[in-house]
C-alpha cells in the first residue's frame, strides 16, 4: 500500500513538474516575441536540456550575432537529432555567418561544414526555401577553386520554382547581380516585388519584406510597394530577422529621396540613426538627402 502511494505521489510530482516547465517555456516564448530578450533567455537557461529551449537559446545568440554561442547550441541539437532539417540549417547558417564576419582563415576552416550542413538540410526537407536560398548565395559567393559553382547555385534556384515563387525570383536576381548583369537582376527583382504584392501569402517570413524593400530602394523600382514592404518589416520585426530596423529606415529614406520627398527621407534617416548612431551608411545617406 505504501509503495503504491509513493508511486502515485511520484507521478503527481512528475506531472506538476512537466506542467510548470511547459508554462515557463511558454512564458519565455511570449517574452521573446515581445522583444524581452533577456527575460526569455533567463527562463530558457533553466531548461537547457530541453531541445526546444536549446533551439531558442541558439536563436537568441544568432539574433545577437554571437555566432560561437549559437553554433554551440545548434551543435547540441544536431548531435541529438542529426536528421532534423531545421537543426542542420540553423547550424550551417550560424557557421556561414561566422565565416562571413570572421577572417579568411576562419572562413576556409568552416566552409566544408557550412556546405555539408546546408546540403543535408536541403536533402532532408525538399520544401525548405531558406536552405536553398542560402545555398544559392554560398555557391555564388565562394570562388570556383574552393567549390563555388554557378551551375549548382542555379540548380538550387530552380528547386525554388516549385516551393515559393518569390524566393525563386529573388534567387535568380541574386545570381544575375553577382554575375554583374544589373539589368537582368533589376527585372527579376521587379517581378519578385510584383508577385509578392499580388500573392502576399508567399511572404512566408518577415525578412522577405526587407529583401524586397531593399531591392526597391537599390534599383529604384516599385517604390511605393517597396515603402509598404519595409514598413511591414519594421512593424513585424523580431528575433528571427537578420537586419536591424535601422537598415529598413535607411532603405525607406532612400526610397523617399528617389521620390524627391526630402522631409520624409530625413525623418526616416533620423530614425535609423536613433537606433544606430554611428551607422556609416545612414550618415552618408543623410548627406545625399540634404543635398536635394
SS3 call for 62: helix
Sign of CA dihedral 56, 60, 61, 65: positive
Task: Tell me what pLDDT residue 9 has.
Answer: 43
Q: Domain-by-domain residue ranges, the chain?
A: 38-125, 126-183
Residue-level pLDDT at 120: 98
pLDDT at residue number 20 = 54
Question: What are the C-alpha distances in Å from 70 to residues 26, 76, 95, 139?
Answer: 21, 10, 9, 23
* Residue 161 per-residue DSSP state: G
CB 75 within 8 A of CB 92: no
The reported pLDDT for the residue numbered 147 is: 84
Report long-range pairs for 47-52 (Cβ below 8 Å, ≥24 apart): 47/21, 50/21, 50/25, 51/77, 51/80, 51/81, 52/25
Cell 568552416 sits at which residue? 110
Taking each helix axis from N to C end, the angle separating 51-63 and 67-80, rounded to the nearest 10 degrees, works out to 160
- For residue 72, give every residue at least 6 positions away whose Cβ sits within 8 Å of its Cβ, in sequence order, or none: none
At CA 71, angle to CA 70 and CA 75, rounded to 5? 120
pLDDT at position 42: 94
pLDDT score at 11: 44
Q: Inter-axis angle of helices 51-63 and 85-101, to 10 degrees? A: 30
Reply yes or no on domain 38-125 having CATH 1.25.40.10.
yes
The three three-digit cell numbers of residue 239, written as one number: 528575433
φ/ψ of 243, rounded to 5, equals: -105, 135
Per-residue pLDDT of the chain (292 residues; tens, 9 = 90+): 545 545 544 444 444 444 456 777 889 889 988 989 999 999 999 998 899 999 999 999 999 999 999 999 999 999 999 999 999 999 999 999 999 888 888 888 899 999 999 999 999 999 999 999 999 999 999 888 788 999 999 999 999 999 999 999 999 999 999 999 999 999 999 999 999 999 999 999 999 999 999 999 999 999 999 999 999 999 999 999 999 999 999 999 999 999 999 999 999 999 999 999 999 999 999 999 999 8
Neighbours of 50 (CB within 10 A): 15
pLDDT score at 102? 83
Q: How many residues does the chain have?
A: 292
Amino acid at each position: 500500500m505504501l509503495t503504491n502511494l509513493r508511486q502515485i505521489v511520484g507521478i503527481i510530482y512528475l506531472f506538476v513538474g512537466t506542467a510548470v516547465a511547459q508554462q515557463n517555456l511558454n512564458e519565455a516564448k511570449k517574452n521573446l516575441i515581445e522583444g524581452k530578450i533577456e527575460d526569455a533567455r533567463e527562463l530558457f537557461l533553466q531548461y537547457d536540456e530541453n531541445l526546444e529551449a536549446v533551439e531558442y537559446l541558439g536563436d537568441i545568440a544568432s539574433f545577437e550575432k554571437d555566432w560561437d554561442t549559437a553554433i554551440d547550441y545548434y551543435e547540441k541539437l544536431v548531435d541529438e537529432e542529426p536528421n532534423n532539417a531545421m537543426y542542420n540549417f540553423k547550424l550551417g547558417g550560424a557557421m556561414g555567418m561566422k565565416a562571413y564576419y570572421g577572417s579568411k582563415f576562419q572562413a576556409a576552416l568552416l566552409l566544408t561544414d557550412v556546405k555539408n550542413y546546408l546540403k543535408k538540410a536541403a536533402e532532408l526537407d525538399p520544401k525548405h526555401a531558406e536552405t536553398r536560398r542560402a545555398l544559392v548565395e554560398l555557391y555564388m559567393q565562394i570562388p570556383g577553386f574552393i567549390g563555388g559553382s554557378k551551375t549548382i547555385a542555379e540548380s538550387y534556384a530552380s528547386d525554388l520554382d516549385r516551393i515559393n515563387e518569390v524566393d525563386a525570383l529573388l534567387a535568380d536576381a541574386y545570381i544575375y547581380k553577382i554575375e554583374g548583369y544589373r539589368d537582368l537582376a533589376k527585372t527579376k527583382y521587379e517581378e519578385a516585388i510584383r508577385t509578392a504584392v499580388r500573392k502576399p501569402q508567399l511572404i512566408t517570413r518577415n525578412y522577405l519584406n526587407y529583401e524586397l524593400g531593399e531591392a526597391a530602394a537599390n534599383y529604384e523600382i516599385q517604390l511605393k510597394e517597396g515603402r509598404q514592404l519595409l514598413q511591414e518589416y519594421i512593424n513585424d520585426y523580431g528575433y528571427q530577422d537578420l537586419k536591424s530596423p535601422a537598415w529598413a529606415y535607411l532603405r525607406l529614406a532612400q526610397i523617399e529621396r528617389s521620390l524627391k520627398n526630402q522631409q520624409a527621407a530625413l525623418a526616416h534617416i533620423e530614425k535609423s540613426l536613433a537606433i544606430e548612431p554611428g551607422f556609416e551608411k545612414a550618415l552618408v545617406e543623410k548627406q545625399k538627402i540634404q543635398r536635394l
